[in-house]
Amino acid sequence: MLLPITFFIFTSLPFFTWPSVAVDTIAPNQALTDNGETLVSSGERFELGFFSPPNSSNRYVGIWFNNVPQQTPVWVANKNNPITDSSGVLSITATGNIIINNNRTNSIVWSSNSSSTTASNPVLQLLDSGNLVVKNVGGNDNSGNYLWQSFDHPCDTLIPGMKLGWNLGTGQEWYITSWKSLQDPSSGDYTYRLDPHGLPQLVLRQGYSTVEYRSGPWDGVRFGGGPELGQNPVFSPIFVFNASYVYYSFENNVDSTISRFVLNQSSLLQHLTWNQGRGEWVDIITLQGDNCDTYALCGPYGICNINYTPDCECPDGFTPRLPQDWNGLDWSGGCVPKTQLNCSTPEPGGFRKFSRLKLPDTSNFLVDATATSPEECEAACLRNCSCVAYAKTEASGCVVWFGELLDIREYNEGGQDLFIRMAASELGSNNNAKRTAVIASVSVVSGVLLLGLISYCIIRKRTAWWRGAQRLENPNQENNQSAEDEDLELPLFDLVTITTATTNFSFTNKIGEGGFGPVYWGKLSTGQEIAVKRLSKDSGQGLKEFKNEIVLIAKLQHRNLVRLLGCYIHGEERMLIYEYMPNKSLELFIFNQIRGTSLHWQKRFDIIVGIARGLLYLHRDSRLRIIHRDLKASNILLDSEMNPKISDFGLARTFGGDQHEASTNRIMGTYGYMSPEYAIDGIFSVKSDVFSFGVLVLEIVSGKKNRGFYHPDHDLNLLGHAWKLWNEGNPMKLMDAYMENPVPTSQLLRCIQLGLLCVQQRPEDRPTMSSVLVMLDSENPMLPQPKQPGFYSERFLVDTESSSTGKKPQTSNELTVTMLHGR
């Protein structure tokens, strides 16, 4: 059927082809050949032509953005059937079928299958929207009734005008499928599709059945009620849900914006926008923002909240089904009601309200649009004893759930209300109230000596930052500062310079969200690139931490520490201006399969040495002794040559010359990097930084996060796993599977041993940073045998008695300490 037509065209019609002229239509007597130059161009925005993905010689017909220098295909025609040389020819038949022919083998590589009897004078046209359409010349073009359109056949990308969902009338579905790899656009493992049953929601699956993530139901404003995909300065989400259509789409707020929504080959769902100034794609939204977005992480009835430690909790009235697994951070068993509902009683239970939730998933829920009031909805649920929960949504009316509730998460703001059913006896008791972060009960040393040391430390610090602060708040005094006021030799930036550099803190200049506020990229008029950390007014970083950070950092000069260029303080508004690190943080590399492969062993080793040098400088060589307290992969920034620089001194503490440890009742740090004596007793010293450094070394070697490490054979975390492999004589098994092979074995082994030495349970067993550097630098050092690591099996803190700080408290009083962690 196809062949005779093609044969006819290829033999009988003289093709007209263009060398490098941009046109926007192809008629049946024309063709687009792969001579490397020809393109079809729609106005200004999109181009269609033959291309090869990076590092691939395969040729594909695709559509990409015209004014994005880094070729970014949004649609690929023959994605599953590449042409291996440049003999491809794109044309359209007289019946409106688009074909890509291999002119060497004279075979059809791809066909749109859009032959139509209604075709009369069809042409292929690339519209300004990026939509490639087949339409009848002279036909009613703008009605959207095309014979065929690429927007109906999405690949991995949505651009404005494309849809994700269903035409309920025709049963046609639009969904996106990931590429196999950066080099290979053929259909990969992941799909993101709209599930139209019950409450419409978007679901990311691996293969046909494994759910990886779901958006949560549409609530009328956004999906799942969470912050993702809500209103933002770049684009507006569109959701249509009526009798004919249910789909998600978006439009750019400003017409000239270039933005796209893409399902990455590594299953990441991101909305990106092109930043002209920086010449790169900036992700404004990553849907799977954190752990809690992992589908059903907390099991049936479990509630995930990223601010809890650990992330999962059972709702009030429920208790872990398998307490032992639950405490071992395997939450898949979920929760069960403390008291089973008894349906033979006249009044089978009631409801407890839970707020700010992403509504649960379940294979079995009913939507009852007729129940309009909450009372009706509650009554509807009470009528059937298998009903476990209900919610009243703006978009869909009353929803009732049957079966287990899965994948509930709690947000800090936004979200929806869910009413979970439970036995009346559970409702009566009011001792439920609190579900807070894990509170660790901690005994604190209150020896007189130690108290003295602490107040010394505090007073010292106060005066230091206070002097600095005064100068900062009165910039006019800058000229008559006294010589003794050497705390701050730091340029004060003015607001105009900063706003100009960051294009008025434009959303597309935002490069990250630090623990204490957003970070923006900017370019000074001198051409220097900067990173501006703008502290949010309600950030946890009070004036105290801010000044602490300035005073500390201003004095530090080392090639492995990120350099502070200046700051800005005016009233509530506070900003820190740093040198810009183009490669962002180490975390983005070592825990990412794709970027991880680019990090060769030698580079990893250099990074380890660099961090060690920076840390040694902090501990010993700088004028102050500084404990960083929050060393972690995301705080190691990488410059253009991948040199590591330690950043984020918001929690750092200075020490007096002869002071060796201190204690705090405000334990702040990051879970997974905190040493036992610090996490449990609040005691920190250079050795707690050494512990974090050891964790970091093992993470760099293994490419695995300590926190959240999972191994099918045991319950150990990464430290325990490394320790186990070490004792079994298999330490090389720890090596990142994505690292090149072979690597210098002795050097790698030395790093593993060193990492284990640094994470030993007792602080006094851990080496100092200067011995760490000696061990790293010498060829064949004699390293001691590591002893048992701290926190190697406990995946989270349970009791305090097991701690061993090497000291017995003289008098101890119970103090409640909230574990906070800066993510």
Catalogue the active-site residues. Answer: 630
Among 116, 180, 206, 245, binds ligand NAG (CB under 6 A): 245
Nearer to ligand NAG, 386 or 504 (CB): 386
Q: DSSP for 542-592, please give it.
A: -HHHHHHHHHHHHT---TTBPPEEEEEEETTEEEEEEE--TT-BTHHHHT-
The window from 106-114, 537-545, 737-745, 814-822 that contacts ligand NAG (CB under 6 A) reads 106-114
Residue 386, interface with ligand NAG (CB under 6 A)? yes
Tell me the per-residue interface mask from 1 to 40 with ligand NAG, x by CB under 6 A, - otherwise: --------------x---------------x-x-------
Q: How far is the CB of 171 from ligand NAG (least distance, A)?
A: 16
Q: Do the Cβ atoms of 647 and 565 come closer than 8 Å?
A: no
Q: Which stretch binds ligand NAG (CB under 6 A): 238-246, 372-380, 517-525, 610-618?
A: 238-246
Q: Does 209 bind ligand NAG (CB under 6 A)?
A: no
If binding means CB under 6 A, how many residues of this protein chain bind ligand NAG? 29
- Cα separation, 373 vs 371, whole angstroms: 6
What is the enclosing helix (H) or strand (E) of 108? strand 107-111
Residue 470 binds to ligand NAG (criterion: CB under 6 A): no
Q: Round to whole Å and give the CA distance between 613 and 625.
A: 14
Q: Which CB atom, from 167 or from 257, has the smaller least distance to ligand NAG?
A: 167
Return phi, psi of residue 174, to 5°.
-115, 125
Q: Which residues lie below 8 Å from residue 1, measured CB to CB, with a gap of 6+?
A: 115
Dist. CA 252–CA 283, nearest whole Å: 15
| By the rule CB under 6 A, 345 interacts with ligand NAG | yes
Nearer to ligand NAG, 201 or 264 (CB): 264
Shortest distance (Å) from residue 386 CB to ligand NAG: 5
* Single residue of 182, 203, 284, 642 touching ligand NAG by CB under 6 A: 182
Q: Which is nearer to ligand NAG, 267 or 663 (CB)?
A: 267
Q: Scanning residues 536 to 595, which ones bind ligand NAG (CB under 6 A)? A: 594-595
Cross-strand pairs, 42:
46
Q: Is 359 in the site for ligand NAG (CB under 6 A)?
A: no
Q: What is the DSSP letter of 619?
A: I
Closest distance to ligand NAG from the beta carbon of 429 (Å): 18
Shortest Å distance, C-beta 521 to ligand NAG: 18
> What would the two tokens of residue 506 be?
């434009």
CA–CA gap between residue 502 and residue 524 (Å, rounded): 9
Note whether 244 binds ligand NAG by CB under 6 A: yes
Site string for ligand NAG, 71-100 (x = CB under 6 A): ------------------x-----------
Which residues, at least 6 apart from 134, have a Cβ–Cβ distance to it below 8 Å? 92, 96, 98, 112, 114, 119, 122, 123, 124, 125, 146, 147, 148, 149
Q: Toward ligand NAG, which CB reaches closer, 33 or 702?
A: 33
- Contacts of 386 by beta carbon, 8 Å cutoff, 6+ apart: 402, 403
Nearer Cβ to ligand NAG, position 54 or 571? 54
95: phi then psi, degrees, rounded to nearest 5: -95, 5
User: What's the closest the beta carbon of residue 2 comes to ligand NAG, in angstroms?
Assistant: 9
802 CB-near residues (< 8 Å, 6+ apart): 794
**137 part of the interface to ligand NAG, by CB under 6 A:** no
Nearest to 293 by CA among 383, 398, 214: 214
At 655 the three-state DSSP class reads strand
Closest listed residue to residue 182, CA positions, set 96, 56, 70: 56
Is residue 476 near ligand NAG by the rule CB under 6 A?
no
Compute the least distance from the CB of residue 235 to ligand NAG, in Å.
Answer: 16
- DSSP annotation of 223 reads B
- Contact call for residues 650 and 549 (beta carbons, < 8 A): yes
| Residue 367 vs 440, nearer CB to ligand NAG | 367
- CB nearer ligand NAG, residue 105 or residue 324: 105
Contact, 45 vs 134, CB < 8 A? no
Q: Which is nearer to ligand NAG, 319 or 327 (CB)?
A: 319
Segment interacting with ligand NAG (CB under 6 A) among 237-245, 408-416, 484-492, 753-761:
237-245
Q: Does 243 bind ligand NAG (CB under 6 A)?
A: yes
- Which residue carries 């249509």 as its tokens? 240
Q: Does 344 bind ligand NAG (CB under 6 A)?
A: yes
Name the segment binding ligand NAG (CB under 6 A); options: 263-271, 412-420, 473-481, 713-721.
Answer: 263-271
> Which of 25, 66, 111, 499 contacts ligand NAG by CB under 6 A?
111
Using CA atoms, how far residue 370 sits from 365, 390, 397, in Å, is 15, 14, 7
According to CB under 6 A, which one of 56, 71, 266, 339 is a site residue for ligand NAG?
266
The structure tokens 């939509």 sit at 131
Four-CA torsion 293, 299, 301, 307, nearest 10 degrees: -40
Q: For ligand NAG, give the closer residue by CB, 574 or 705.
A: 705
Q: What is the smallest separation between the CB atom of 237 and ligand NAG, expressed in angstroms? A: 14
What x/- string results for residues 397 through 416 when contact with ligand NAG is judged by CB under 6 A? -----x--------------
242 binds ligand NAG (CB under 6 A): yes
Give, to the nearest 10 degrees, the angle between helix 543-554 and helix 448-473. Answer: 80
Residues near ligand NAG (CB under 6 A) are 15, 31, 33, 54-55, 89, 103, 111-113, 182, 240, 242-245, 262, 264-266, 268, 342, 344-345, 384, 386, 402, 594-595
